[in-house]
Structure 1
Amino acid sequence: MFSCNSGGADAKDNLSAVLCGINDLRLEQRPVPKPRDHRKYLSPNKPSQCTPTLEVLLQMESVGICGSDVHFLVHGKIGPFVVTDPMIIGHEASGTVVEIGKKVKTLKPGDRVAIEPGVGCRMCSYCKEGRYHLCPDMAFCATPPIDGNLSRFFAHDEDFCFKLPDHLTYDEGALMEPLAVAVHSLKQANFRLGQVLLVMGAGPIGLVTMLAGKAIGASAVLVTDTEDFRLKKAKDFGADCVYQMCEDKPEDEIVQEIKEELGCEPHATIDCAGAVQAIRISLKVTRTGGVVVLTGMGQLEMNIPLTSAIFREVDIKGVFRYNNDYPMAIDMVASGRANVKPLVTHHFKIEDTVKAFETAKTREGNPIKIMIHPNPNWQHCL
């Protein structure tokens, strides 16, 4: 068994945050996992499938609360993913390597890593084409029936743990997950230096998308939202201009005002809200020949102005997580081109996980990104 770093968790203590049902989040002791040389997938289609993998054991340091975590807690499901059995929550995370599998070569105990939480089967056509995020048998942290990583210790695949430069914090490491979503969204838009970007929604994903767009070299970024607090944050974080959405205002009036604020039509619009109004406006305001990327999770069916977009050859693309985007996300932050630190507004120990999720649900204190720290010596994460 490994020897923890000074001030870390006890080797037998694997306190974990377990979602047992709707609004039923508990702290439980789970066995400390052992790094494996293979994984047994829990896909309902292939319950016994095994593929080669090399794992490392991580002492968890920072785990962010995502909107999907809150959705699972409040509703017990997201689309086809339903919580039927107790599941450890959490997927935005960083940790310290404390033990490695027998054949691991790229990591060693003491390495600080950002954790990409989704691993494909490595065998299907999507994985072999490099689009592993579309793998039908992906094992993704905290997506039923796969356990997440909000625990003292967590075992994960070597090649989905990315070393953090020495000057980056664990909190920044955990924020690589939402930033990777932003990077993937901008890749889908084929966004380039000097272009104009519109970001619909100033939640955590919208804010990191704005940061990533600026890092790539956007000539201007406008961020929309319905809340003054979030728009102020967007402006503080570097948005060139902001626009407050209003449900009662005619859509065409909103479209015209956004164009006037930007001084032009955006080359790309990234919808991070998922609201029908936001998507409709995205399709109307984006320039002819531009791109609209749907990153936010919205309704299964909605009424949107497709014909106008078709006539103007506005491309419409979807986003599902990310693939091969962590290296670029880490480089953006390490180089100083994207400052994600201000996104973290609240810190909690793992013992206070229920309180942390209550803060996320009620949004008391205007949280942007809440970090939970499983390591008792959590102050070094900052």
Structure 2
Amino acid sequence: MFRRNRDQANVHIRHYLFQSGPSAIENHAIQFLTFHSSRFILAYSTWSLRSKMATDTHPIVNKASVLRPGGSFYYEDRERPSLESDRHVIVRVVATGLCGSDVHYWQHGRIGRYVVENPIILGHESSGIVVACGVEASGIEVGDRVAIEPGVACNTCNPCRSGRYNLCKGMRFAATPPYDGTLCTYYSVPVECCYKLPAHISLRDGALVEPLGVAVHGCRLAGDLQDKSVIVFGAGPVGLLCCAVASAFGASTVVVVDIVAARLESARKYGATHTYQMSAEKSPELNADALAATAGLIDGANVVLDASGAEPCINCGIHALAHGGTFVQVGLGRPNLSLPVGQICDKEAVFKGSFRYGPGDFKLAIGLLNSRRVQVDGLVTHEFSFSQVEEAFKHVAGKGGIKSVIYGPDIDVEAAKQASV
């Protein structure tokens, strides 16, 4: 689209609906004017305001929600990020889904070896609109609606070179100390970490691509699911997406298990053939027997995906697994658990850990959405403005709803809910 010529500047105007600011009464268009130099594309913003600032072309402040060590939030105006390389883009963040890891950092200040020692911006499940591109950022243009893959690997270590960049020890992952996340106005990221959203997916629902990538990765680790029986433990966002992906991958039976009955109500919408409410009063063995009877899995399930991270669920899943079956640990709870190792050995079961997502997982997630083989309608149950960050965290900590999203600063919420077609 662009001519990369140091002597000429090509100007392209794109109109996107955002709120023009806290003092504005109605929505206005931000006109992004982009031009090329020999090294990069600069993006300026002209805000259509009912004020003397109507033609202001100064860079917009990068508003951020920042977590202090100790667990309190504050808002800060930061400089707008620059293009870090010719292959970087800058994304105007529209929606960010809240993850359990975000809440854990807020409540406990650490996850394993990752400790909040300095102020940090949380959030990593995000979608937005590209507002600036480096000249080598091919495949993405200013104005594209994208989902962000929030991890940047080193591409030189052994895991990266062997095609498992999710295991990169030098990974710079958003909202994992010391790296800032996406609860801000703008986020700079390499172009290969941006994925165009299907036209029928809203920017709000685009924030679900990241957890969908987690589900895709877990299901791919399980192997061929065609005509297989699958049990998914945990009816939260990742569990329901695992259910949807397993169904899309051809599983003949998909059972969703949770201890809370209300969380099972949506499971069939995402491909479940059966649901089972675990009883806290029963042993893992008895729950496994009742589960098998409910779903007609006399010989057990070919595959178990645990998205709960809860010890009772993991134990039940191992007991419910068929001989020679595969167990994939998708969700993470306490780091050390007691497991029925005898069952794993007796069944010659394959037990796999799953960590985030790897090569091809985001592309496959986008493909499943594009083909409508996976539907995410209804997963977002609660929405919060940027001024309600702490309220949103408290809501998620209280196990409210399925998925909560926080809109970026000054975003037109109604526009963010709409598809582009």
What TM-score does the superposition give when structure 2 sets the normalisation length? Answer: 0.83
Equivalent in 54, 57, 80 of residue 90 of structure 2: 57
Against the structure 1 CA distance between its residues 165 and 6, is the aligned structure 2 distance closer, same or farther, given a 3 Å change threshold?
closer
Indicate the SS of the match to 1:235. helix
Deviations 1:76-130 (A, max 9, x none): 1111111001111100011111011232222111011110001111111111111
Does 1:358 pair with 2:406? no
The one of 62, 86, 89 aligned to 2:119: 86
CA distance in 2, matches of 1:76, 1:343: 28
| Bigger-Rg structure (1/2) | 2
Equivalent residue, structure 2, for 1:348: 384
Matched, 1:370 2:404: yes
The structural deviation recorded for 1:191 is 3.5
Is 1:255–1:284's contact at 8 Å kept on the other side of the alignment? yes
2:292 corresponds to 1:259: yes
Match of 2:313 among 260, 270, 278: 278
1:236-294 Cα deviation digits (max 9, x unpaired): 43321111112221222111111111211211000111111111111111101110001
- 1:151-206 per-position Cα deviation (integer Å, ceiling 9, x unaligned): 11111110110111222211232101101111110111104211111001111111
What SS does the aligned partner of 2:389 have?
Answer: helix
2:17–2:415: 8 Å Cα contact kept in structure 1?
no
Greater helix share, 1 or 2? 1
Partner Cα distance (1:136, 1:146) in 2: 14
Superposed displacement of residue 362, structure 1: 2.3
3-state SS in 2 of match to 1:290: strand
CA distance in structure 2 between the aligned counterparts of 1:238 and 1:183, rounded to whole angstroms: 14
Could you tell me how far 1:4 is from its partner in structure 2? 7.6
Read off the aligned partner of 2:264 and give its amino acid letter. Answer: L
Instruction: Return 162-171 or 67-76, whichever deviates more.
Output: 162-171
Q: Which structure 1 segments of 5+ residues have no match?
A: 38-52
| Aligned amino acid, residue 252 of structure 1 | E
1:40 alignment counterpart: none
- Judging changes above 3 Å, is the alpha-carbon distance between structure 1 residues 186 and 85 closer, same or farther for their aligned structure 2 residues? same
Aligned residue in 2 for 1:139: 172
Instruction: Name 2:74's counterpart in structure 1.
Output: 26
Q: Distance in 1 between matches of 2:93 and 2:311?
A: 38
Query: Structure 1 stretch 343-352 or stretch 138-147: which is displaced more?
Result: 343-352
**Which aligned pairs between 1:88-167 and structure 2 lie closer than 5 A?**
88-167=121-200
Deviating runs (4+, > 6 A) in structure 1?
1-4
Within the alignment, does 1:305 sit opposite 2:333 as a pair?
A: no
1:201 and 2:234 correspond: yes
Q: Equivalents in 2 of 1:304, 1:259: separation in Å?
A: 20
- Aligned twin of 2:43: none
Q: Could you say which residue in structure 2 is the equivalent of 1:225?
A: 258
Counterparts of 1:105 and 1:319, CA distance in 2: 31
Look up the equivalent residue of 1:373 and give its one-letter code: Y
- Of all paired residues, the percent bearing the same amino acid is 35
Instruction: Give the equivalent residue in structure 2 for 1:16.
Output: 64
Displacement after TM superposition at 1:31 (Å): 1.0
Q: Distance in 1 between matches of 2:124 and 2:248?
A: 25
**Aligned pairs for 1:329-348 within 5 A:** 329-348=365-384
Highest relative contact order (Cα 8 Å, sep 6+), 1 or 2? Answer: 1
Counting matched residue pairs gives 365
CA displacement 1:344-372 (0-9 Å, x = unmatched): 01111212212221211223xx3211111
Alignment partners' CA distance in 1, 2:140 and 2:115: 34
Note the aligned Cα RMSD (angstroms).
1.7
Using a 3 Å threshold, how does the CA distance of structure 1 residues 3 and 136 change in structure 2: closer, same or farther? farther
Deviation per residue, 1:128-165 (Å, 9 max, x gap): 11110000010000000000011111111101101112
Mapped partners of 1:331, 1:176: distance in 2: 11
**Structure-1 separation of matches of 2:115 and 2:301:** 38
Q: Look up the SS of the partner of 1:223 in the other structure.
A: strand
What residue in structure 1 maps to residue 37 of structure 2?
Answer: none
Alpha carbons 1:65, 1:92 under 8 Å: kept: yes
Which structure 2 segments of 5+ residues have no match?
Answer: 1-10, 21-46, 48-58
